[in-house]
């Protein structure tokens, strides 16, 4: 069965799925585009398996997890991870919105205002969300669900993308998040993939 | 086991879960708040089961579906519904953002601009998303997954909320969506609930 993951050459929405596929040893084509060659307007990423196609990064990540040992079978345990992923996604949206507004702003006055608000935005948004994730990880042996799952991969993908935007390691002050990033980056499959991938800019 | 669903007295994020609980005949406390009494800042709705608690409306709705016959067991079928729900949620966010911006705008000039853009916003956003949902329903016997599932409930909850904001039936031009709204509103349990609930304003 031929698996294909289509996304920009960026970590963004796809990196957690790429990590899981490499970790699980599931063979796939890692197809990458730039803005000019992206084939489907208004869809951000998609996944193919044979002649079946799926969009929405969270649906894709969850499906890949279901093909590995990264999704528990108990419905309540699954729901706790779903909620964690959706909370992480809320954070991701806010980070993305802020940076895109700032990057795309052409009026120099408004751009300076947004730039001056950067520290405040980062400290408020990061503090609210990251302290919440830190607390959840701490209460569950360093993972959202008490053991490694797709929610942990989803957080790490989001943190790495936020770091690319922010230009520094936003998880610096959160020891459990830092440890999780390190754990996932050291997993068999993921480690080798990171060593060979081209840098994201 | 005691189930409690906490939300504002509004359809919004919770109505699809309320409908599913009524349809499945799962007893629950339907706890409602107004803005002044809402207990948890920055969380929009939550669900309790005994001493366990869950946030995020999509995680809640999916969990409730898992306790009924509204979630299929096949992982790919589940993923297709996850993607449908996340697409519906993208639409919901855009509708909500537009109306909130318009309602909360205090500058009369900007408010008029937003108001004048209303038809355009509605036709563009509605057309893009609703025609996509209509197409998916049509291709799958009137349901997102070929038979009644939680994604269908999620769409109807979203349409009803959008109608409350828009002041007319936005699904008017989409026969499969209209039929689905009618089907769900006529289901045993849901029908009786609708007949007795207080109106939303």
Average pLDDT of the residues in B41-52: 84
pLDDT of residue B116: 72
From the first residue on, what is the mean pLDDT of each consecutive set of 10 residues in chain A (201 residues)?
A: 91 94 97 82 82 96 97 98 97 86 80 76 86 97 98 97 89 97 98 94 82
CB A63 within 8 A of CB B76: yes
Q: Specify the pLDDT at position B21.
A: 98
Q: Alpha-carbon distance B95 to B105, whole Å?
A: 15
The reply to whether residue B55 touches residue A82, judged by beta carbons under 8 angstroms, is no
Q: Is the pLDDT of residue B77 over 80?
A: yes
**Is B35's pLDDT higher than 70?**
yes
Decide if the complex's ipTM is over 0.90: yes
Q: Which residue of B has its CA nearest to A82?
A: B59
Answer whether residue B61 shows pLDDT above 80: yes
Q: How far is A79 from chain B (nearest CA, A)?
A: 6
Residues of chain A whose beta carbon is less than 8 angstroms from a beta carbon of chain B are 42, 49, 52, 54-56, 58-60, 62-63, 66-67, 75-76, 78-80, 82-83, 86-87, 128
User: Is residue B38 predicted with pLDDT exceeding 80?
Assistant: no
CA distance B83 to B98: 23
In chain B, residues with a C-beta closer than 8 Å to the C-beta of A66 are: 75, 78-79
Encode pLDDT of B155-177 as tens digits.
999 999 999 888 889 999 999 99
The mean pLDDT of B86-105, rounded to a whole number, is 86
Spatial distance between the Cα atoms of B170 and B47, rounded to a whole number of angstroms? 29
- Which residue of B52, B58, B79 is in closest CB contact with A86? B58
Q: Is the pLDDT of residue B55 over 70?
A: yes
Output the CA–CA distances (angstroms, integers) from residue B170 to A89, B71, B123, in the order listed: 28, 27, 9
Residue B201: alpha-carbon gap to chain centroid:
16
How many residues in total does chain B contain?
A: 201
Label each residue of A22-36 as H, E or C.
HHHCCCCEEEEECCC
- For residues A119 and A148, give the distance between their C-alpha atoms in angstroms, rounded to a whole number: 32
pLDDT at B42: 67
Mean of the per-residue pLDDT values of chain B? 92
């Amino acid at each position: 069965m031929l698996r294909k993951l289509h996304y920009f050459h960026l970590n963004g929405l796809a990196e957690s799925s790429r990590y899981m596929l490499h970790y699980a040893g599931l063979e796939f084509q890692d197809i990458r585009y730039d803005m000019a060659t992206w084939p489907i307007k208004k869809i951000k990423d998609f996944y193919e398996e044979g002649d079946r196609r799926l969009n929405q990064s969270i649906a894709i990540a969850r499906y890949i997890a279901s093909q590995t040992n990264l999704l528990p079978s108990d419905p309540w345990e699954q729901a706790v991870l779903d909620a964690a992923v959706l909370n992480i996604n809320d954070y991701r949206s806010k980070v993305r919105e802020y940076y895109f507004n700032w990057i795309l702003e052409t009026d120099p006055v408004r751009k300076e205002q947004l730039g001056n608000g950067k520290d405040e935005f980062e400290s408020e948004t990061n503090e609210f969300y990251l302290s919440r994730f830190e607390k959840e990880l701490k209460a569950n042996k360093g993972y959202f669900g008490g053991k490694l799952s797709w929610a942990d991969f989803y957080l790490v993908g989001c943190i790495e993308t936020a770091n690319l935007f922010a230009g520094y390691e936003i998880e610096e002050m959160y020891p459990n998040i830092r440890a999780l990033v390190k754990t996932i980056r050291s997993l068999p499959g993921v480690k080798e993939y990171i060593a060979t991938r081209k840098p994201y800019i």
